[in-house]
Amino acid sequence: MAEWEKNIRRVEPYVPGEQPNRPGMIKLNTNENPYPPAPGVGLALKQLDTERLRLYPDPASTLLVEALAARNGLKSEQVFVGVGSDEVLALAFLTFFQSKKPVLFPDITYSFYEVWAQLYGIPYECQPLDEAFGIREEDYEKENGGIVLANPNAPTGLLVDPDFLRRILSKNQDVIVIVDEAYIDFGGESAVSLIPEFDNLLVVQTFSKSRSLAGMRIGAAFGQSGLIRYLNDVKYSFNSYTMDLTAQKLGAASLEDEGYFRETIQKIVNTRERVKAELKALGFRFGDSKANFIFATHPKLSAPELFEALKQENIYVRYFAKPRIRDYLRITIGTDGEMDVLVDFLKKYVKAADQ
Ligand SMILES: *Cc1c(COP(=O)(O)O)cnc(C)c1O
């Protein structure tokens, strides 16, 4: 090892889902939205004044922050925005988890939490989900330096209600509790309603899934103004101009079209429920996902083999070679047409395996 290598920060990075770009492929592997963003987003992009790009953007992202505050019944001081919720979460870990006690999150959850904890040297302890992948409330009653819960959880898709979160928050008032709501719009009730009750609650959301803007990188956090102030202090110590002008304008445009937003989500939810019935009929097993994906296993099929077989068909889903979930595939909900192709293939595949 060279002398200089001893001074290097070594980390094991998060591995994002593949982003293949093959003609005709069916991409069900990174929970993107199969429908385009609201029409107003395209319009806002066309109207963008490129001359304006010579100037720095508004460091406070006022336009976007105010639009988010209005939509969520909050004040601007209660809203923070960043480059995707990944950046928002990374800054939140850096800001709020300074304790020597471990931060708690489930053993099966968004694997980036572990990566950030390691990057920043934050002690953490994974809490095993129960056999049905449910969160065990009593695991979050021990001493800790903070709590992170994805709701609905990923990759399980399982949802807890605000009363469950209220109990966790009540028992953990001395630490920050982060609720990652990347998928909340697909069937859950947001914990934003708990913000007036708890000064230690940070709710994180994204425009990547329900708003079809993964390519634009927009995330947000909501909490009482004290929390948001601390988050901003760290952000301004890191990069004042995280949100570019385009992201601010397009994000705000997306929020203007509530009708399109609801319609798109309803389509995805309808498709999800229909595909659940079809997968069930084929012998797949899965929890009651309230997200835009289904996390399924089959008692007679090998998940990695099925994953590869699907890839041969140009259908991409997500497989995690990890303990407890190595028999599962996470399948994003695409359009009805895409899901028909998937289900037709699975019918043949299951039938062939039965013979
Ligand atoms: C997709 C996802 C995110 C990150 O989304 P961004 O695209 O960075 O906004 C955060 N948390 C969970 C649980 C996710 O699935």
Over the stretch 220-261, which tens digit does the pLDDT of each residue have?
999 999 999 999 999 999 999 999 999 999 999 999 999 999
Atom of ligand 1 nearest to the CA of 30: 1
Instruction: Estimate the crossing angle of helix 245-256 against helix 258-281, to 10 degrees.
Output: 80
Is 110 touching ligand 1 by the criterion CB < 6 Å? Answer: yes
CA distance 17 to 135: 25
CA of 106 to the centre of ligand 1 (A): 16
CB 80 within 8 A of CB 206: no
**DSSP string across 71-124:** HHT--GGGEEEESHHHHHHHHHHHHH---SSPEEEESSS-THHHHHHHHHT--E
- Count CB-CB contacts under 10 A for residue 44: 20
3-state SS class at 325: coil
pLDDT at 18: 80
Q: Where are the alpha helices (DSSP H) in the chain?
A: 39-46, 62-72, 84-96, 112-120, 162-170, 225-236, 245-256, 258-281, 303-312, 336-354
d(CA 190, CA 72): 10
Q: What is the pLDDT of residue 321?
A: 94
Q: Is the CB of 295 under 6 A from ligand 1?
A: no
Q: Give the closest residue (by CA) to ligand 1 atom 14.
A: 182
Give the pLDDT score at 171: 98
Please tell me the distance between residue 93's alpha carbon and the centre of ligand 1 in angstroms.
Answer: 14
Residues of the chain with pLDDT under 70: none
**Whole-model pTM?**
0.97
Q: Establish whether residue 133 lines the binding site of ligand 1, counting it when its CB lies within 6 angstroms of any ligand atom.
A: no
Arithmetic mean of pLDDT over the chain: 97
**How confident is the model at residue 243, as a pLDDT?**
97
pLDDT of residue 83: 98
Protein residue with least CA distance to atom 12, ligand 1: 182
| DSSP codes joined into one string, 224-252 | -HHHHHHHHHHHHTT-S--S-HHHHHHHH
Q: What is the pLDDT of residue 286?
A: 98
Quick one: tokens of 297? 């296993």
Model pLDDT, residue 118: 96
pLDDT per position as a tens digit, 193-223: 999 999 999 999 999 999 999 999 999 999 9
- Expressed in angstroms, the distance from the first to the final Cα of the chain is 55
Whole-number Å distance, alpha carbon 206 to ligand 1 midpoint, is 7
Q: Strand pairing of 285-286 and 293-297?
A: antiparallel
How far apart are the CA of 156 and the centre of ligand 1, in A? 14
Res 291: pLDDT: 98
**Rounded to an integer, what distance in angstroms lies between the CA atom of residue 122 and that of residue 127?**
16
